[in-house]
Structure 1
Amino acid sequence: MSIKITGTGSFIPSRIEKNEDFFNHEFLNADGSTINSTNEVIVEKFKAITGIEERRYVKPELLNSDIAFYAAEKAIADSKIDKETLDYIIVAHNYGDLKHDSEQSDTVPSIASRVKHLLKIANPKCVGYDLLFGCPGWIEGVIQAKAFIASGIAKRCLVIGSETLSRVIDKHDRDSMIYSDGAGAVIIEESTEEGGIISHESATYALDEAHFIFFGETNHPEITDKRRYIKMYGRKIYEFALTNVPLALKSCLEKSGYDIKDVKKILIHQANEKMDEAIVKRFYKLHDMDIPEGIMPMTINLLGNSSVATVPTLYDMILKGEIKDQKINKGDIIMFASVGAGMNINAIVYKQ
């Protein structure tokens, strides 16, 4: 028996926010002081580092649970299963349902329960729960689904990564340009076919690193409301990721029994183009190799960083032929990897 992904789906919001749309923002340093650069220069430097030209935001009437549902519907249809046969619905997110122009997140009932309700699944033995694990949440959900199926607790799971980060950003923070919205979903089940999930690696670094990504006040000193926004220590995250993610990838690959030359694609969390390139280059350097051309598909330039949604949307788009010059063939060895708040890291070796 293998444990495989048998269906995929994604929701990419239609609203496009381009870099030039930030030219009229009042960006400030974390201490509220003025940045000694024009917005045009700030945005140009931002693009050079992150690779982001535009990102996607949901329409005002949509919630995180809505877009998670849309991605789930597509994954269920793609797998051709009866939705009533699902044993688990696992939804990875970090900020719940946050209405447009609202200051309060809503997580009761869980996003998973809301998705199950929207899917109109009647079976009470289909269990839904939420998973908060930073940006690596969707991969961790896949790891958990695999464990449920391998232990005999479940036969079929729906794993979703969905986020609306546009509603937790501080418009006075340059980092706000990184974040975006989106949702991706997969069906995971027992299969008689060869392949599937081969190995995984997962870790939490919290002794010194727990608060590298956090909720904090706006950079604008004259705004006195108590609303909090997603904040990060970018340099610390960059250094942490470059030190630890390549080692996690190496350990995961070693557990799989495959050689690095067998790997056809690495689908890494779309966090920052330069950081992702540096991580994968360092991974190959650990094997005394240069990074192969085309090994690391990217969507961050057009879709931004949608946290838990970046990896499953990337995977779905490649399988559906929506990314130029990128494909995954049956039998290919691929790797999923992510790093994010916690600080958490994980990786999976998967045979298509």
Structure 2
Amino acid sequence: MKIKITGIGSYIPEKTISNTDFDKHVFLNEDGSLFHYPNEVVINKFKGITGIENRRYAEDNYTASDLALFASQRAIENAAIDPETLDYIIFAHNFGDVKYGHSQSDMIPSLATRVKHNLGIKNPKCVAYDILFGCPGWIEGVLQANAFIKSGMAKKCLVIGAETLSRVVDPHDRDSMIYSDGAGASIIEASTDNAGMLSYENATFAIDEAGYLFYGKSYNPELDPNTSYIKMHGRKIYEFALSQVPAAMKSCLDQSGIAIDDVKKILIHQANEKMDEAIVHRFYKLYGKTPPKNVMPMSIHDLGNSSVATVPTLFDLLIQGKIEDQEISKGDILLFASVGAGMNVNAFVYRY
């Protein structure tokens, strides 16, 4: 038995924040000192590395569970199912609901429960829960749905990835320019044809790597040291990703029995354009090859890094034909992959 994504939906906030919107930010070094060069230089270097020109922030009156609801409604409509028939709602996020202008996370009740409530699902047998797995959370949710369906515990699962990272960034940290908001959702069912998941790989590296992404105080010493923001050791994450993600992708592909030349698209977490390109190049190098043109669709240029939402949103945009010079057809082989806080890595091979 294989599982299949029978419905997909995403919610992309309308509020666009461009790189020039950071012109007046006071960026500081970790020790609180000022940079020795102007913001224009900071922004240009940032764009050159990450590829990000714009990112989307949630509307002020919405939280992560609201964005998730909108994406879920679209996925349910796309799958043409009755939401009362869902057995599980699996919601991947990292910071819960954070209201605009606040920094406190709200996760009680779970965000999955909030989505179930707002969908109006009465069936108590529809079990709703959250997972915290860093940026690879949506993929991990799909892998859990795979296990539930294969074991006979479920027939239909709703897997969501949603985040409002704009609410937990330190405005004095230049890394804050990376993060964005958004949501992606998918309906997972048993496959009734040749399409579906062929293999998967996942891992957690937690001895030396656990603290590469963390919660820490602002770089501005005048701000409350007890208020925390998302922080990262960028160089360590980059080196980790290039070391571990291509190997996980290769292991996953080899398990599937699919040849590297038969992979049509790689849908990788939209974290950083240069890092993603390096991961894919290193992956192909493991087979003694170079990546074919257009194998890696990208949405980061306009949407930024919305963590758990990037991969399902990318898949939704790809299916809708909304990514320039990118398309997929029935029977195409796709490789999904992600890396993030934990440090966690996962991937799956999928026949569309």
Normalising TM by the smaller chain, what interval? over 0.9
1:285 equivalent to 2:278? Answer no
Give the partner amino acid of 1:14: E
Shift of 1:327: 1.1
What do residues 150-172 of structure 1 show as CA deviations (whole Å, max 9, x unaligned)?
01000110000000000000000
Q: Which runs of 5+ in 2 are unaligned?
A: none
Give the corresponding residue for 1:111: 111
Residues of 2 paired with 1:4 and 1:299: CA distance? Answer: 23
Give the corresponding residue for 2:347: 347
Shift of 1:195: 2.2
Give the partner amino acid of 1:133: F
Matches within 5 A, 1:138-149: 138-149=138-149
1:129 equivalent to 2:129? Answer yes
Residues of 2 paired with 1:324 and 1:48: CA distance? Answer: 20
Residues of 2 paired with 1:27 and 1:62: CA distance? Answer: 27
Give the partner amino acid of 1:18: S
What do residues 71-123 of structure 1 show as CA deviations (whole Å, max 9, x unaligned)?
00000000001110000000000000000111211000000000000100000
Matches within 5 A, 1:1-352: 1-352=1-352
What do residues 120-144 of structure 1 show as CA deviations (whole Å, max 9, x unaligned)?
0000000000010000000000000
CA contact (8 A) 2:172 2:220 kept: yes
Q: Secondary structure at the match of 1:161?
A: strand
Residues of 2 paired with 1:120 and 1:224: CA distance? Answer: 40
| TM-score between the two structures when normalised by the length of structure 1 | 0.99
| Sequence identity percentage | 64
Shift of 1:322: 1.1
Give the partner amino acid of 1:173: D
Give the partner amino acid of 1:70: F
| TM-score between the two structures when normalised by the length of structure 2 | 0.99
Residues of 2 paired with 1:92 and 1:14: CA distance? Answer: 22
Q: Secondary structure at the match of 2:101?
A: coil
Shift of 1:224: 2.6
Shift of 1:225: 4.6
Residues of 1 paired with 2:103 and 2:230: CA distance? Answer: 13
Residues of 2 paired with 1:2 and 1:232: CA distance? Answer: 37
Residues of 2 paired with 1:225 and 1:144: CA distance? Answer: 37
Give the partner amino acid of 1:287: Y
Q: How many residues align?
A: 352
CA contact (8 A) 2:2 2:196 kept: yes
Shift of 1:191: 2.5
Q: Which runs of 5+ in 1 are unaligned?
A: none
Shift of 1:313: 0.1
Q: Secondary structure at the match of 1:67?
A: helix
Give the partner amino acid of 2:157: C
